[in-house]
A = this chain, B = another copy of it.
């Protein structure tokens, strides 16, 4: 592989298309199995992420035990009910949304931030923030690779961390960040599901950009 390789226009467009068409996915075709070679490609993409100081602060627990998957799904369901209660007047609307596909997805992976390894390089001042951002980069790689393989990925973050840590037997200092649902889908959402369902609309790019200094968002920037 030539590391200096330039991307042709169709190749560049493929990268942009994966970015544009990637969706956080809750609807999977049940009962599917991913070929091991395909799963390995996807996990290698995950692991090729950048990380601050090369700390690679990501671990994946592949949930193969059906009973464990069921317990994880129950934990997510409990948090879904708690979230609905906290949401108050929008709670009923929230409960009508499909927010996870834990039982149906072909592969379920628990994303865990390992105990801090003490890396100082690039993270003397913001150690936890940099570890979390690096883990996010790894999942985004997995997401885009999955989309290119015509697979959906859903990042489920509705859970109480402590009981989840107990179920996964995490050591002190480790932090579960997500339950990643991966597998074949009937179709990809045309837009983020929360937009399609009228839950919330995303803001435009130009609202995210400022010149040089922060400008108060209420200034109508």
* A105 touches B (CB below 8 Å): no
* A33 touches B (CB below 8 Å): no
Cα of A161 to Cα of B217 in the assembled complex, Å: 21
Q: Give the oligomeric copy count.
A: 2
Contact in complex: B144, A79 (CB < 8 Å): no
A61 touching B5 in the complex, CB below 8 Å, given contacts A53-B200, A200-B54? no
Which residues of chain A in 134-163 are interfacial with respect to chain B, using CB atoms and an 8 Å cutoff?
Answer: 134-137, 139-141, 143-145, 147-150, 155-161
Cα of A17 to Cα of B14 in the assembled complex, Å: 11
> Per-position contact with B for A192-221: 1 when CB-CB < 8 Å, else 0?
101100011111010011111110110000
Q: Main secondary structure on chain A at its contact with chain B?
A: mixed
Give, as a whole number of angstroms, the nearest-CB distance from A99 to chain B: 8
Contact in complex: B125, A79 (CB < 8 Å): yes
* A112 touches B (CB below 8 Å): yes
Cα of A92 to Cα of B216 in the assembled complex, Å: 42
A52 touching B157 in the complex, CB below 8 Å, given contacts A47-B205, A214-B61? yes
Give, as a whole number of angstroms, the nearest-CB distance from A207 to chain B: 9
Q: A43-B209, A94-B121 given. 4 additional CB < 8 A pairs?
A: A16-B45, A20-B48, A54-B194, A135-B136
Interface residues, chain A, with chain B CB atoms under 8 Å away: 1, 3-7, 10-12, 14-24, 41, 43-45, 47-50, 52-54, 56, 58-65, 68, 79, 82-83, 86-87, 94, 99, 112, 114, 120-126, 129-130, 132-137, 139-141, 143-145, 147-150, 155-161, 168-171, 174-175, 177-178, 187-190, 192, 194-195, 199-203, 205, 208-214, 216-217
Task: Give 13 A-B contacts (CB < 8 Å), ordered by A residue.
Answer: A3-B21, A3-B189, A3-B190, A5-B21, A15-B144, A16-B41, A19-B48, A47-B205, A54-B200, A58-B208, A59-B210, A136-B136, A140-B140
